[in-house]
Structures are given as structure tokens and as C-alpha cells.
């Protein structure tokens, strides 16, 4: 009886491992990150070799000279929204060139975390209403939005007639 129980446990562990391997077998490493000291990291995107640095923010012992990791979370959301909307727009023969996003991060404490992300998108006015609805749905359901923890409040505002040309 004890042998059967052990065999079932081993079988379950092997099945879980095989499932995990199958789920991630076609994935490759995206970036390599080095902690440079003084609360700064350098990340290299392995495919393009482009790099970025992060700093801890000034309200958390850092210099605030670069994006903080939580800033990048918010920027990732906004850029993902614009990118996925751009992909969909191209399929619809809609031009979103020069569209802009502004993102605001709201931190909470105890524990320290992002509590709310506000993204305002400024988009061209010459897009038909039916296309706007499709594109807004596309932005709202982008991969980053679907990956953000459900306790983080996401506010997404689409301004189609207020594209700012700074």
C-alpha cells in the first residue's frame, strides 16, 4: 500500500513537471540584469542588445535618476496598450501614428506596492466610432493589463479628439 502511495506521488510530480516543461518549452530568456550597486540595475534585452537602467525612487532610498522598477510596470502597461492597439489598427487600416500616452503611478504602503495606475491615451480624431470601440477593447485587454495583479486599480482613459501635438 505504501509503495502505491509513493508511486502515485511520483507520478503526480512527474506529470506536473512535464506540464510545466510543455508550457514553457518554447520560451527563451528575455533579459539579463546586473545589480550595479547603489540601488541601480542594468538590464540588457538579449535579442536587440539594448540596455536600460533602473534606480530606486527618491522616496525609497534611491537617487531617482532613472525609471524605478514600479515606473517600468506603469510604462509597460501604457506601451503595451499603444502597441496592441497599433497592431489591431494596422489590420483595420487605421493610422494611430503619433498617438500618445500619459501614465500616473499611485503607490501604497504597508506593504509598499503600486495601488493604482492611470493611463490616458491621446488618439487621432479621424477614427470612426465603431473602430474606436474595437481599439479601446484591444488596449484594455492587452497582455500587460491582463498580467497586472487584480488588486491594482487600472484607470484607462481614451481621448480621441484631444491628440496633443507638443
Sheet holding 40-45, edge to edge: 31-37, 40-45, 51-55
- Interval 115-123 mean pLDDT: 98
In a domain, 30, yes or no: yes
- Over residues 132-163, the pLDDT tens digits come to 999 999 999 999 999 999 999 999 999 998 77
Do 109 and 91 share a structural domain?
A: yes
Sheet holding 153-159, edge to edge: 100-108, 113-122, 153-159
In a domain, 26, yes or no: yes
pLDDT at position 21 is: 47
Residue ranges making up the domain that contains 46? 2-60
What angle, rounded to 10 degrees, do the helices at 69-91 and 129-140 form?
A: 140
Do 154 and 73 share a structural domain?
A: yes
User: What domain count does the chain have?
Assistant: 2
- Over residues 11-26, the pLDDT tens digits come to 455 444 444 445 556 6
Amino acid at each position: 500500500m505504501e509503495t502505491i502511495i509513493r508511486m502515485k506521488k511520483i507520478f503526480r510530480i512527474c506529470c506536473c513537471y512535464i506540464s510545466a516543461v510543455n508550457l514553457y518549452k518554447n520560451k527563451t530568456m528575455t533579459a539579463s540584469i546586473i545589480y550595479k550597486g547603489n540601488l541601480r540595475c542594468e538590464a540588457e534585452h538579449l535579442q536587440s542588445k539594448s540596455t536600460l537602467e533602473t534606480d530606486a525612487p527618491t522616496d525609497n532610498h534611491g537617487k531617482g535618476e532613472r525609471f524605478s522598477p514600479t515606473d517600468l510596470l506603469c510604462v509597460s502597461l501604457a506601451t503595451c496598450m499603444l502597441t496592441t492597439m497599433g497592431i489591431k489598427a494596422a489590420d483595420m487600416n487605421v493610422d494611430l501614428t503619433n498617438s500618445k500616452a500619459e501614465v500616473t503611478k499611485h503607490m501604497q504602503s504597508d506593504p509598499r506596492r503600486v495601488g493604482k495606475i492611470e493611463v490616458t491615451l491621446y488618439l487621432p480624431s479621424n477614427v470612426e466610432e465603431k473602430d474606436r470601440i474595437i481599439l479601446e477593447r484591444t488596449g484594455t485587454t492587452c497582455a500587460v493589463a491582463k498580467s497586472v495583479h487584480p488588486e491594482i486599480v487600472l484607470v484607462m482613459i481614451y481621448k480621441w479628439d484631444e491628440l496633443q501635438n507638443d
